Amino acid sequence: MAQELLWIFISALLINNFTLAYFLGICPFLGVSNKLDTALRLGLANIFVMIITAVAAWALNTFVLIYAPYLRLISFIIVIASTVQFVEMAIKKWSPELFKALGIFLPLITTNCAILGLALFATNKGYGLIEGIVYALGAGGGVTLALILMAGIREETRVLDIPDVVKGTALSLIVAGILSMAFMGFAGMFSAA
């Protein structure tokens, strides 16, 4: 059991990295990742929302959607969005510091494809509650890792002399491609064991 959970975690973190292998959550990856500090906080907010999502998706799948599977997509979106909103209010009240650190990102993330993707993949793989939470931790960690790596590289590229046509999104995409290639190396990590 413990080994299985570890495998789920590592696989979501490195091998099937949400950003670099599944292309989920690319918009913030390309748009926001300019500063290391912002990238880290965005990543943490992502982990946080993903855990809520995993629990919400599990609850919906177990208690509601067995009766009406065709409502899956609509109910996922509405329930995730409103749960995050409630949790946001709760944090604002109980822990202003935490809210200050993550606050602005929460509503942004809610409509992120990585979040809905997590709910859908966890459902397709038939994960239970604990497996779902571990999967969310791994996936969130993977997104954070990708954001931080990208932010670090971008801070460096700012001082380079780059031709005008390459600047901006084109450069980010090519850098992301190289990063993604590096992450493909992790695929061989566990096949030998």
Partner 1 sequence: MNTPDAHWDVFLKGLWKENPVFVAVLGMCPTLAVTNTAINSLAMGAATFFVLFFSSLLVSLLRKVIAKQVRITTYIVIIATFVSLVDMLLAALVPDIHKELGAFIALIVVNCLILGRQEAFAAKNRVGPALLDAAGMGLGFSMALLMIGVVRELLGSGSLFNIPVFGSSFEPWIVMILPPGGFFTLGFLLLIFNAVAQRRAVASSVTSQS
- Residues 30-69 as x/- pattern, contact with partner 1 by CB under 8 A: x---------------------------------------
DSSP assignment string, 5-35:
HHHHHHIIIIIT-TTTTS-TTHHHHHHTTTS
78 binds partner 1 (CB under 8 A): yes
In whole angstroms, how close is the CB of 99 to partner 1 at the nearest point? 22
* Residue 178: HSE in the Cβ half-sphere, 13 Å Cα cutoff: 8
Show the binding pattern over residues 96-135: x = contacts partner 1 (CB under 8 A), - = does not. Answer: ---------------xxx--xx--xx--x-----------
| Contact window for partner 1 (CB under 8 A) among 5-13, 36-44, 72-80, 131-139 | 72-80
Give the nearer residue to partner 1 in terms of CB position, either 82 or 95: 82
Q: Please say whether the dihedral angle defined by the alpha carbons of residues 135, 141, 145 and 148, taken in this order, is positive or negative.
A: positive
C-alpha atoms less than 13 angstroms from C-alpha of 98 in its C-beta half-sphere: 12
Residue 160 DSSP label: S
Contact 14, 22 (CB under 8 A): no
Size of the site for partner 1 (CB under 8 A): 39
The C-alpha atoms of residue 17 and residue 29 are separated, in whole angstroms, by 13
Interacting residues toward partner 1 by CB under 8 A: 20-27, 30, 70, 72-74, 77-78, 81, 111-113, 116-117, 120-121, 124, 164-166, 169-174, 176-178, 180-181, 184
